Amino acid sequence: MNGAQSLIRTLVDSDVTACFANPGTSEMHFVKALDDVAEMRGVLALFEGVATGAADGYGRMADHPAATLLHLGSGLANGSANLHNARRAATPMVNIVGDHATHHKRFDAPLDSDIEAAAGTTAGWLRTAARPEDVAGDAAEAVAAALGPPGRIATLILPADVSWSEAPGAAAPVAPAVRATVDEARIADVATVLRSGEPTAILVGGSVTRERGLVAASRVTQATGAKLLGETFPARLERGAGRPDLERLAYLAEFIEMQLSGVRHLVLVDARSPVSFFAYPGRPGDLVPEGCEVHTLATGSEDATGALEALADLIGAPVDGVARTAANRPEIPTGDLDAGKVAAVVGALLPEGAIVVDEAQTAGIYAPGATVGAPHHDWLTLCGGAIGMGIPLATGAAVACPHRRVLTLEADGSAMYTIQGLWTQAREGLDVTTVVYNNGSYAILNMEMGRVGAEAPGPTATSLLDISRPDLSFVSLAEGLGVPAVRVEDAGALHTELATSFHEPGPKLIEAMVPSGF
């Protein structure tokens, strides 16, 4: 058994059974070893940003890490934007980054670079496997670190000679840390706040945006009149008819200020205190209203859902005192498409158990509202703000959940970062429907140009926010990558194509022509 075999065997023994890969020469022994451990599924990506984004989608849906396999520092760099998103989503992930053989590093060969420095910007756990006899143990620890709450990226740098040299064998799985229980005093303090009668909001995020956490939060807010809010960008929000609805904080600071206006107590439950996504001249970054006290019920490494349940019990909130969303589907619209009609069609058709990957940016603002009364589904968002997540995330979510339809709501500009992911969807026959909102614009930047206080942009600035010259054809791009595709310009056609796609196996891309909203 060589180091690569012992590593892969250890990953599989720790239930890591998918590896999203874009290998190079230094990873050839790892690639070869995939054939020796049949339980590991190797999934090829044409670009590393697809591999890391897919591992993020897999981890969010499986609540267990997938592995990536990346080629040296440059492969890591190519995957780093989606690693950034995964870090913000607290997704468990095991990154394997190949490196030159240990005895080759001193030559500073052309592809050599400082991998540890680059990896440190996203990894919560980082190690270079120094010896073949250590690599299996390193891998077991990496999996445990990835799973340790709240979930993190564990990056293991794998020198080629550690991979190809003789190794003693696999290592036993390492038990990850468990979420710490929140102590009763803290729960009692929050109960006191809630009983004060002062305007209070409970802000949930991270692990709490699953059904169990939302039910507990709803019990508390229903019993006390507190306001229930969710973070702007949940990693995975369980929603739909019969579940508590979650009002998310807006993207724009002005709107968050309105949402929090008058709040005297803000209770954080696995959530971060709200700040402006970007800075704007003369506007505040910290969005907690003046005079509002911030209380932390639970952090991301604690059992936040358990703390909410204990809080609900402590204040005597009835177990069935939960605000549940009524089943409701939008009317099917007709006529020329716009972003609102796309949302309505999606809301009318979204199948039970769907996984929605939302990277629609400005075009997507109507989609959550139009789907809240649809059957149970998961909603995955861009936690780190680094665009190019959608198509890869959907790819990994589909690998993790082969019996569920994945729907990607994708902005045109964002789609172009990692369009290569469509090819992996075709290759693996994944049930992913991608709706690209083609408005020919970085619409969000047209909006932001005004918000940052820049005066009316001139022709050069305007042209840098415009992606319609030449027009992109997402149908051609998808077909070039092996994914069947169609362009639609009216709501009826979108309805027909979306309904068909939801009942056909394999990937499909629908290019929805919409006007730019801004």
What's the count of helices (H) and strands (E) in the chain, helices before strands? 20, 18
Both ends of the chain: CA-CA distance in Å? Answer: 59
CB of 374 to a copy of itself, least distance (A): 27
Q: Which of residues 62 and 419 has its CB atom nearest to a copy of itself in the complex?
A: 419
Structure tokens at 180: 């710490």
Q: Which is nearer to a copy of itself, 199 or 518 (CB)?
A: 518
The least distance separating a copy of itself from the CB of residue 400, rounded to whole angstroms, comes to 19
Cα(48)–Cα(40) distance, integer angstroms: 19
Report the sign of the C-alpha dihedral through residues 80, 85, 90, 92, in that order: negative
Q: Cβ closer to a copy of itself: 57 or 73?
A: 73
Given the complex with a copy of itself, which of 44 and 188 has the nearer CB atom? 44
Omega of the bond leading into 168 within 30 degrees of 0 (cis): no
Three-state SS for 427? helix
CB of 419 to a copy of itself, least distance (A): 8
Q: How far is the CB of 186 from a copy of itself (least distance, A)?
A: 23
- Are 85 and 383 in contact, with CB atoms under 8 Å apart? yes
Residues 6+ apart with CB under 8 A from 131: 162
Q: Give the Å distances, CA to CA, from 465 to 460, 473, 514.
A: 9, 18, 17
> What minimum distance in Å lies between the beta carbon of 217 and a copy of itself?
22
Question: Between residues 281 and 291, which has the closer beta carbon with respect to a copy of itself?
Answer: 281
Least distance (Å) between residue 3 CB and a copy of itself: 12
Burial of 120 (0-12, 13-18, 19+ CB in 10 A): exposed
Question: Which residue type occupies 97?
Answer: V
Query: Whole-angstrom Cα distance, residue 158 to residue 154?
Result: 13
As beta bridge partners, residue 248 has 230
Nearest approach, Cβ of 206 to a copy of itself (angstroms)? 13
Residue 6 or 224: the one with the smaller Cβ distance to a copy of itself is 6
Q: By C-beta, is 258 or 454 nearer to a copy of itself?
A: 454
How near is the Cβ of 34 to a copy of itself at its closest, in Å? 4
Give the DSSP letter string of 307-363.
HHHHHHHHTT--TT----PPP--PPPP-SB--HHHHHHHHHHHPPTTEEEEEE-GGG
Residues whose CB is less than 8 angstroms from the CB of residue 207 and which lie 6 or more positions away in sequence, other chains included: 149, 150, 179, 213, 270, 300, 304, 305
Minimal distance in Å, beta carbon 456 to a copy of itself?
A: 9
Select 10 or 165, whichever has its Cβ closest to a copy of itself: 165
Nearer to a copy of itself, 57 or 333 (CB): 57
Q: For a copy of itself, which is the closer residue by CB, 39 or 183?
A: 39
Cβ nearer to a copy of itself, comparing 241 with 509? 509
Question: Shortest approach of a copy of itself to residue 68 CB, angstroms?
Answer: 13
Place of tokens 């609805």: 245
DSSP category for residue 289? P
Burial class (CB in 10 A: 0-12, 13-18, 19+), 489: middle
Q: Are 506 and 426 in contact (CB under 8 A)?
A: yes
Shortest approach of a copy of itself to residue 108 CB, angstroms?
8
